[in-house]
Every structure is written in C-alpha cells, then in structure tokens.
Chain A
Amino acid sequence: MGDHIESIAQASYWLVRGRDLFLFLYLLGLASFAFIVTRRLAPLLAARSDPRFDRPLVRLGRVLQYWLAQWRHPRYRFAGLLHLLVFAGFLILASRAFALLGLGISDRFASFGATGWYGSVRAYAATAVFLCMVVAAIRRLAFRPRRYPRSADSILLLGLIAILMAADGVFESSELSPPSLPANSLSWLLRAALGSMPPAILVKLHLTSYLAHSVTFFILLCYRPFGIQFHVETSLFAIYFAKLERGTVKPVAWGVPDAELDKLKSFGVKHFSDFTWKHILDFYTCADCGRCAEQCPAATVGRPLAPRDLSIRARDYVFRSYPVFGPSRDGLPVIGGLFSEDEVWSCTTCGACEAECPLLVEYIDKIVDLRRGLVDDGKIPQSLHKPLKALESRGNPFGKPEKKRADWTQGTAEIVNGASDIGTLYFVDSITSYDDRIQNIGRATARVLRAIEGTPAILGARERDSGHDVRRFGEEMLFQALRDHNSEAIRASGARRIVTADPHAFNALRHDYRDMPPVEHISQTAARAVRTGQLRWNPVESGVYAYHDPCYLGRHNGVYEDPRDVLDSIPGLRRVEMKRCRDRSFCCGGGGLALFYEPREQERMGVRRVRMAAEAGATVLVTACPFCMVNIEDAIKVAGLEGQMSAIDLAELVDRQMAN
C-alpha cells in the first residue's frame, strides 16, 4: 500500500485495485442477497392467497404511523427509546452507507455527506447507534429482561452493527487531511485517540476500516434473512399489508363465498402451505421481542401458549423446509409436529398480542385457522362436544329449550311478534338469557333501556346464540347457521338499531354479521344519555371502583371512554384505574365456549385480574361483559377475596343508581 491515499478506488489491496476488489465484493454481496431473498419468497408463493392490495392510501398512512413514526415502540419506554434511536439512525445513515460503499468504486462519492448539516447529523446518528448497541448489549447480558430469549444471535447482530459504526468512525478519523469533525461524535473521539499516529499506520487503518465496513455491511445484509433481523427488510411490507379491520376473523378461504364452502376439500390449516402468504411474511417479520408474550394472559398464567413462540417456531420450520441451499421439503403436519393442540386451544382471542406488536403481526386469524383444521378432523377437546352439540340443536351452549329463552324478562322486555317494525332491538345472547346470575344483567339492561327510550324489544325464542365464539373456536359452518338464522330474525323484526350488553354479541353483530343495522353497546347508550342529561343519579355512598375493560368492548372495538364517562358522572363514585387498563387490559379468562374449555394452567386469568384490582385499591370491580362477570365473580371466591371485593356489571350499576 502506498503512503498517500487519495481514494479507495485507486488504492491497492494486496495487488488488487480497490475498485476491482469492491466491485467484485458488491456484486457478490448483492447477488447473494437477491438469491437469498428469492429463496425466502418461495414459500410465500406456495401459500394460500390473501388479498391485501386494497386501499393503498390507508395502508401508506399506516406505514407512516407504525413504520416511520414507530408508533407502538414507546409502549415499552426504554427499549422503545433505544429502538427509535437505532431506527432513526439507520434512516439517517442510509445515504451515508451507500455513499461510503460508492467510494470503493468511484471517487465521485468522496464529498458526499462529509460536511455540512448532514455531515453533523449523520455523525451523531452513528454515535447514537453505536451507543445504543452497547447499551442494548449490556441490557441483554447483564439485566436480562424476561421477555428476551437467550440467544447468541442477538448479541452477534448487536456486535456486527457496532462494528459497522465503529469501522465508519475509524475510516473517517483516519483520513490524512480530514475535514473538521462534529465535536464529541464517535469519529471525533477516535480522531482524538488516533491523531498522534504516524501516517503509515493511519493509511493502513483507513484502508482496513473501509474494507471492514464494506464486508460487515454485506455480512449483515446477507445474514439478516436468516434470523429475526430479517424484519429490517420485511417490516415495511408486513406493515403495509397488515390487516385493516379490527374484530373480524378471516374467511375460511379468501375468494370462496359461503355458498361454495362445501366444495372445499378441507378447512383450516393442516399443512404449512395452508397458511396465507401474509401469515408466512409475519413469521419472517417477528423480531422475537417478546412484548406479545408478556402481555398474553395465557402465557402469564402458565398455559402452553406464547404468541411469539408460534411465530418463531413457524419461522424456523420455514427455514428448515424451504432452505436457501437445498431442495424444499414440507411434510410435517402442523398440529402435532409444529404446534400442540393444547397451545391452539389455550388462546382466548383477547387480542393483547396484536395490540402490542410493533410490527403488526397477526395472531388471531392464525389460531382460528389452526382450530378450523382441528375441527375439520374432529379433534376438539371432549369438554366442548356437549356445548357445540347443544348450540346446534338448541341454539345455546347450555342445552336449554328455545322456548325458555325469554323467561328471564319478568316483564322488563317485550318479545317481537312476527314481522314488525320496531325501532331498537335488544340482542340478549345466550348466557344472559339462561344463566341465573347473569339474567340479572339482562333485567338491569332492560330497565335502563326503558328509562332512556322505552321498553326494549327482544327476539325471544327466535334468538339464537350469536355464534361469535363458535366461529373463533373453528366451527365455521355452525357459526354460519347461527348467523343466518339470527340475521333473518333481525331483518324480519324491522329493527333499525340494535343494542346489546354482551361485547361478544356486539363484536359479532358489528364485524361477523353482514348488512345489519347499527349496533351499540349499552355503555355507549348510557354515556349518551348522561351527556344529554337523560340519566340522573342517586349518589354512591362508599366503595372504590375500578373498571375492567372487556376485551371485545375495549381492544377489539375501541370503546374505552364511554363506560368511564358513565362511572365518572355518578356523584360519590371513587374510581381508580388498574395499571393494566384500556388496550392493555388483562383478559378475564375468555367467553363463549372458553367457559367450557378446561386448560392446563397454573392460575386462573380471572384470579390474576382480581388481584390487580385489589392492588389498585379497588373494592368493587365494574365490568361490562357477562362472561367477565362469570369469571370475575368466580375468581373472587377462588382468590379468597369474598367480603373484600365484589363485582358489578355496568348496566346493574346504572340500574341501581339511576334516579329516573
């Protein structure tokens, strides 16, 4: 190597000219990357279809929100901050990286980004990224947050990125006639350290660090598709193509209308290629950050389910069956080979995972598809046979006769008679109709509705279970039978509006059923009545109240404030907020068929939840879902908190306190 270096391109690296060496290196690197990506695309092409190309503007908007603005990241403050800095750094340094690479081939890139405001910004960005790598490494090695898996992979990646930054820094600081460097940046510090070195050493450092930078760049590029770092490339696409609607479940097969479902050979996911391409993209994109697992109530209580485990295991399976080198072989049955049946049935579809994931990875659709496959093969837990059979023959999971469905009313509601033209229909659903305790919620709701708008009308014996959880447990055809029956009855009633006190029914009518009149939850009705002054209150004497957000009212439908507004408007009512509230609410244990499923777990979700309420200082837990009520009242007993805590439904509370 010579003494004076004006350009990398012209320099000689062991008898090879820089330009030739780096041209070769870059072409090799890019070709490798392209090859790897093509191989990674193969399983997506073999997978099922998934129409995600609609509404491009909305999707672009979400890219700006979730990808560019990293919207979900700050939910975990410190890690979120680190990631924000690294991500911002990567964006800022992108042009610098390319310019730097370019230098190896042509001198025209020499002055790019060296000085001026960009020069400063990127120098500090590189410094920040380098520091973040160090902090992140220390965090993982010394503090070990539980949600991070122990993997050498992550440390290696942190190291490589750190090397990239450092190499850039050394390269810059070892220039013989360097421009002034931004104070206290990495390069500046390195220059201070190296400044007294003889030129010959500096030249060697300059050339070596450049080579190191280029080589590390391409190592990273080609290594990323082999692990969680693939999310660097795939996250943009995953977020663009992410699901737009909330609360729905994907159809059995996109493009196959209900009437033609009978023609399908099989339902659900039984083999890996039964997943859609977007699902497989999700598997690639999961960064194994563990936020979903930490929020997942099933994982928290010791059920054999953690969402990210599904993604990572599936991803590892794809890597093995569709390897970059070698032939594809996909033969393992998904259930039994990749996932266990217990895992698949443990999910309550609460949506905490999907609400938390910074990369918008979807889980509920996958679980439902896996369940569809199991149902198709007849493999459902024995404890679910009876309720499903009862739903089929009696339209409710308890096996009670249809004609007794309206026995709960005791005069508080009227049954729709034949075809009519009622204004508002109160959709009661099964548990409120038949369970002795929950019937109280039904009567309270009816009385509240009567006070606000007149005696409500119900379908009575013509109502069937909404089928909400039948669908989410994978029995799609039974769900459709229930849906079709109910839709018919609702249309025949002429209802122009539906009100319900059951968030599962609420979600079903809003998202699973089609062409329904507008649906409202009783908390929304009550909140509006409070605002218009229709509801007036008797004050509450005592108690500390905490509101528990039901999953299907809160997370899946965004109704957080209305129930709180109602509570806050009641004079004398002292309300506290649990730490996990709103979209971080902790599932009570699940509703619908989940009440019949017997999971393997260390503790009940409901028990966890009532302890959270106790921690927040509450003596009364208010909920707005009949299934939450069942689970929470049960949990209060199991947790030994009787006498210290009680539960009340929002409708019951309104009914009790209203002064109308």
Chain B
Amino acid sequence: MARLFAYIVHKDGMADDSARELPIAARKIDPEHPCTAIVTGWGADLDKVCDSLRPAYGEIWKIAREALAYPNAELVRQALLNVLPARSILLVPHAHFGVDLSPGLSIRMNAAYVPDVLEIEGVDGTWLRLVRQEFGGQISVHMRCDIATGAVLNIRPGAFRAAEGPSAEGQVVDRSTESGTLAARRTYLETIEAQKGDVDITREPVLVSIGRGIGEQENVAIAEDLAEAMGGAVSCSRPVVDARWMDKSRQVGSSGQTVRPKVYLACGISGSFQHLAGVKGTPFLVAINKNPKAPIFRVADVGIIDDLLEFLPAMTGRVRQEKCVAGKEIHRP
C-alpha cells in the first residue's frame, strides 16, 4: 500500500477542522499505517500549526518556504510534487483551496483524482471503493478508483467526524529543502475581506436562515419578524444573495460565513453541502421545507414539511405570545 498523506489547510496559525478529519478517512484506506501530515507555509504561524498537529499525526512534514507564506495553489503544487514520494495517496479537504490544488496535482502526479468524497468503503486490489454525491446532493454514487499509480482524494469536510482516536506523539520533519524551485505564473496580490454588514451572524445564537424557497424580496420580512421575535437574526444561503435579496454578509456556507449558533432554522433551504459546510458545532437544526425529499431532512434534528411562507408567520405569532406570557413587553412596530 502506498504511503498516505494529509494536506493541512491552515490560517493565522490555526489548522482547519479538516486536519482532524483526514486521518479518520485515511484509516479507512489503510488501517495499518497512519497517514503523514504535510503542511506548507512560512514562519511562526507554520510552526504553531505543526505543533498543534502532534496529537493527531505520527509524522508531520513541514515545508517552510517564504514563497509559500500565502497558500498559492500553483506554488504549493510544485512543492508537493517535489516532496511527495511516487504513487502517494494524498488526502486534501474539498474546499476553496482543494479545488484549486488537486485536479492539476493529480495530473502531475499521474495519479487518480476523486473530489468531494463522502465515504470510503475499502480497497480491492488496486481499486478503492468510495461514495460521492451528484446533482446537488440529490443522489449518491458508488465509485471505484484505480490507485495503482497513486491518488489525490478531496475529502468532504465534516464527512469523517473527528473522534477521540488514539493519540499520537507527532514528529515534525522539515522537508523544506526538497521542495525545489518554486516559480509560478500566478502571483497572489491581496485579499479583499468581505464587508461586515450591520449584523454579524457569526455571533448570533439563534439564526433563522432562508433559502430559495423564500420566493421574493418582500418575503424576507417574514423571516425578519420571526428572528426578531426569537431574539435572533436572519441568515441565508447562496441563491438568496445571488438574487440580491440579502447582503453577502448574511450568507452561510463554504463561500460565505461560518456560524456556530445554538439554534438554526433552515427555511426553504434544500441542504446542499456547500451551505451546511458553514454551520459548525452541533446546533439544534430545524428544517422547514415544502419538499419532503429535500436533503436537509437527512441532517436536521427536527423537520417540518410545510410552506415556510405560512409556517413562519404562525411561529412568529406563537412566539410573541410566549414572550407575552413570560411578562416581557412586546413593542409592536
């Protein structure tokens, strides 16, 4: 069995949650040999990350290059190609960086590539059996992939829950000198941060989140009423921002904000992985959707099959009553 590696995504000295999930996935491929972490970066932040990985990985390969201070996939690819042994199997989290890095890397490595892996079922000879989804999560697919010449596997974040596994005593190995010349025809210039809107949804304990099912701009007020009654805020999924019904700062998802509320009401949201990737922790997840087959019902705690345009106002009315009974004043607009 070829050697397994896990690429660690990190920011500001902190490793991404996926760093703890990838070893779980790796164990499904090769239960015998633990996978090696491979981290690129520069300076104190990189060192901090490597340190934090010690409990989870037996060996941590560090590639410290000034050129890699910002994770430019074009440069990282070259470094990995120079450092990774032939026929390696590399696990990468499937997100913005992974999508940028992995397809090209797999070609250069002459390895197979499977993106957005949900489950790993096992190995038969040189064929790895996995599960993916297609059509926006509507259907699952059994796949098999020939790993004879290696593989790059992008793993869906959150698909392999980090358990309290056996603790490791990781050794950091510096492989920076092997990373070779790094020259790319794509240069990083700057990052334009998303503007914080009037509401910081990342701090809200209660979120009423709306999706395409809200129908039109004017109906957003229905969600706002409920959020106000519950003492929370309104967030949304991507289609709502694309339609310009809400500001980008309200978007929850892999290309939006990451939130950790106590309660998350997903109203008219189908439950695509990109959206749910932005909901972290273990909130009480309530799904309200007209379509009983919506994927969100698979991950929600409680489901309500109803038209959100009818259900939400009913909730708002009832919640307001609650506050009345509790003796709080209601200020009617």
Contacts and interface: CB of A to CB of B under 8 A. Distances in A.
**Taking the complex as a whole, does A directly touch B, i.e. does some CB pair lie under 8 Å apart?**
yes
Interface string B57-83: 000000000000000000000000000
Nearest to A595: B216
Nearest to B222: A637
B321 interface: no
Contact of B217 (A436, A598, A638): A598
Contact of B307 (A382, A436, A598, A637): A436
A609 to B, nearest CB: 16
Interface in B197-227: 216-218
A637 B216 contact: no
Nearest to B243: A383
B307 A638 contact: no
Contacts of A382: 243
Contacts of B307: 436
Contacts of A383: 243
Nearest to A604: B218
A462 B226 CA distance: 42
A598 B216 contact: yes
B292 interface: no
A399 B217 CA distance: 20
B313 interface: yes
A638 B218 contact: yes
A108 B276 CA distance: 97
A436 B310 CA distance: 13
Interface residues of A, number: 7
Interface in B222-255: 243
Contacts of B243: 382-383
Contact of B313 (A436, A604, A637): A637
Contacts of B217: 598
A263 B139 CA distance: 45
Contacts of A436: 307
Q: How large is the interface on B (under 10, 10 to 19, 20 to 34, 35 or more residues)?
A: under 10
Contacts of A638: 218
Contacts of A598: 216-217
Interface in A420-442: 436
Nearest to B218: A638
A604 to B, nearest CB: 8
A141 B186 CA distance: 70
A604 B216 CA distance: 13
A436 B306 CA distance: 12
A577 B216 CA distance: 32
Contacts of B218: 604, 638
A236 to B, nearest CB: 47
Contacts of B313: 637
Interface centre among B216, B217, B307, B313 (most CB of A within 10 A): B216
Nearest to B307: A436
Interface in A377-402: 382-383
A383 B217 CA distance: 11
Interface in B260-295: none
B49 to A, nearest CB: 43
Interface in A463-510: none
A598 B220 CA distance: 14
A602 to B, nearest CB: 12
A383 B240 CA distance: 12
Contacts of B216: 598
A598 to B, nearest CB: 6
Contacts of A604: 218
B4 to A, nearest CB: 44
A408 to B, nearest CB: 16
A640 B195 CA distance: 35
A383 B218 CA distance: 14
A604 B217 CA distance: 12
A436 B216 CA distance: 18
B228 to A, nearest CB: 16
Interface in A606-640: 637-638
B150 to A, nearest CB: 42
Contacts of A637: 313
A216 B243 CA distance: 60
Nearest to B245: A598
B194 to A, nearest CB: 22
B316 to A, nearest CB: 12
A637 B313 CA distance: 10
Interface string A296-323: 0000000000000000000000000000
B246 to A, nearest CB: 14
A637 B310 CA distance: 10
Interface in A93-146: none
A415 to B, nearest CB: 26
A436 B307 CA distance: 10
Interface in A567-625: 598, 604
A383 B239 CA distance: 12
Nearest to A436: B307
A637 B217 CA distance: 15
A637 B312 CA distance: 13
B217 to A, nearest CB: 6
A638 B217 CA distance: 13
Nearest to B290: A436
Interface string B306-326: 010000010000000000000
A637 B215 CA distance: 15
A638 B313 CA distance: 11
A520 B243 CA distance: 39
Nearest to A597: B216
A337 B63 CA distance: 60
A238 B271 CA distance: 59
Interface in B128-147: none
A536 B296 CA distance: 50
A499 to B, nearest CB: 30
B292 to A, nearest CB: 13
A436 B217 CA distance: 21
Nearest to A638: B218
Interface in B163-206: none
Given A598-B216, A598-B217, 5 more contacts: A383-B243, A436-B307, A604-B218, A637-B313, A638-B218
The 8 closest A-B pairs by CB, nearest first: A598-B217, A598-B216, A638-B218, A637-B313, A383-B243, A436-B307, A604-B218, A382-B243
8 contacts: A382-B243, A383-B243, A436-B307, A598-B216, A598-B217, A604-B218, A637-B313, A638-B218
